Amino acid sequence: MSMPRLPILEHKHPQHASLFQPANLLREARRQRGLPATPIPAVCLLDPDGDMVRYLRDKDLASPVEAWACYHTAMWRTQWRGIELGLVGCAVGAPFAVLVAEQAFASGCELLISITSAGQLDGTLELPCFVRIDRALRDEGTSYHYLPPGPFAEPLPSVAAAMATLPATAGLRVRPGAVWTTDAPYRETAAAIAARTAAGLVAVEMEAAALYAFSEARQCPVACFAHVTNAMAQTAGDFEKGEADGALASLDLAAAAAAAWHASQV
């Protein structure tokens, strides 16, 4: 008996160019909204929980990026530790994160950093902490539109080498590790968690595998970090991120990651 065909794996042709291109959508958005075709910040930061954007706006430390032509999000410009960052908040999940990534690189982005909230799988992690994601299990759909089927997606070698310098330079608790990327956070069953933990995955999140698949397919530099803050709310008092809901530490990490990338390009 043959296996049923799976639409998620059919007719993807990842080696072929897409007919629908982000640059063309952005062209029309700029035309409709009267926006300038000027570059956005060279370093962009995805903030899925929105904590960094909220902090910066509350402190009047960010201004809108007028040239950002995305229909679905706003981008905010700030200077942090001497690094200019363009932040997009609340782009949660693999499809949304990659949509923003495509449009960011089509708009002048040169490095994209993602710092996403994640659940703990490795019981030895001291929460909250940051994981520099060195590979991500592809338990989502978006990555299969960019790369042939396979178990993991990884950062570009140049990005991995640059980010590996962070523990010595950032002054933050950052460790490397592999994560589980899922599209369905409320389907993290005990059996699934046990299997992923046994496979050596340290945390679960929703974007990294897709962002790394996009990065490899497009050869666009993307660095993904997991801010491990919770154990899936199994006990009261979970999800504590630290000062300012973790915004200060996350911004410091983003600035350090950008500085490490810039240093590697000299």
Q: Tell me the pairing of strands 111-120 and 43-47.
A: parallel
Mean pLDDT of the residues in the chain: 94
| Neighbouring C-alpha atoms within 13 Å toward the C-beta of 237 | 1
Q: Three-state SS for 13? A: coil
Q: Is the pLDDT of residue 111 over 90?
A: yes
Q: Is residue 8 assigned to a domain?
A: no
pLDDT band at 8 (very low <50, low <70, confident <90, very high): confident
Give the pLDDT score at 114.
98
Q: In this predicted structure, what is the pLDDT of residue 108?
A: 97
Is residue 19 a part of any domain in this protein? Answer: no
Strands 83-89 and 75-80, how do they pair?
Answer: antiparallel
Whether residue 121 has pLDDT greater than 80: yes
Indicate whether 194 belongs to any domain: yes
**Could you tell me if residue 2 is inside a domain?**
no
Tell me the two tokens of residue 253: 């990490």
- What are 226's two structure tokens? 């997991």
Whether 4 maps to a domain, the answer reads no
User: Quick one: pLDDT at residue 242?
Assistant: 83
Per-residue pLDDT, 22: 97
Each residue's pLDDT tens digit, 235-254: 777 788 888 999 999 999 99
Question: Closest Cα partner for 71 from 28, 115, 20?
Answer: 28
* Within a domain: 15: no
**CA nearest 226: which of 142, 129, 153?**
129
Alpha-carbon distance values, 186 to 119, 164, 170, 182, 205 (Å): 12, 32, 33, 10, 12
Distance CA 21, CA 117 (A): 29
Phi-psi region of 242 (alpha: psi -120 to 50; beta: other; left: phi over 0): left
Quick check: 139 pLDDT over 80?
Answer: yes
With contact defined as beta carbons under 8 Å apart, do 55 and 168 qualify?
no
3-state secondary structure of 54: helix
Q: What are the tens digits of pLDDT across the range 250-260?
A: 999 999 999 99
Q: What is the dihedral of CA 193, 197, 198, 199, to 10 degrees?
A: 110
Find out whether 112 and 104 touch, Cβ atoms under 8 Å. Answer: yes
Q: What value does the mean pLDDT take over residues 98-125?
A: 97
Indicate which CATH number applies to the domain containing 226: 3.40.50.1580
Reported confidence tier of residue 3, pLDDT bands at 50, 70, 90:
low
Is 260 within a domain?
yes
Q: What is the residue range of 119's domain? A: 38-232+239-264
Q: How far apart are CA 49 and CA 51, in angstroms?
A: 6
Contacts of 206 (CB under 8 A, 6+ apart): 48, 92, 93, 94, 97, 116, 140, 181, 182, 183, 185
CA distance 40 to 189: 41
Asked if 196 contacts 182 with a C-beta cutoff of 8 angstroms, the reply is no
Q: Please indicate, yes or no, whether the overall pTM of this predicted structure exceeds 0.75.
A: yes
**pLDDT at 105 exceeding the cut of 90:** yes
Residue 241 DSSP class: -
- Dump pLDDT digits (tens) for 27-65: 999 999 999 999 999 999 999 999 999 999 999 999 999
The 10s digit of each residue's pLDDT in 63-74 is: 999 999 999 999
Lowest model confidence (mean pLDDT) among 89-93, 123-127, 147-151: 123-127
pLDDT digits (tens, 9 = 90+) for 13-25: 999 999 999 999 9
Say if 24 falls within a structural domain.
Answer: no
Band (162; pLDDT cuts 50, 70, 90):
very high
Q: What is the pLDDT of residue 1?
A: 55
When pLDDT is averaged across residues 127-152 and rounded to a whole number, the result is 96
What phi and psi values does residue 232 have, to the nearest 5 degrees? 60, 35
Number of domains in the chain: 1
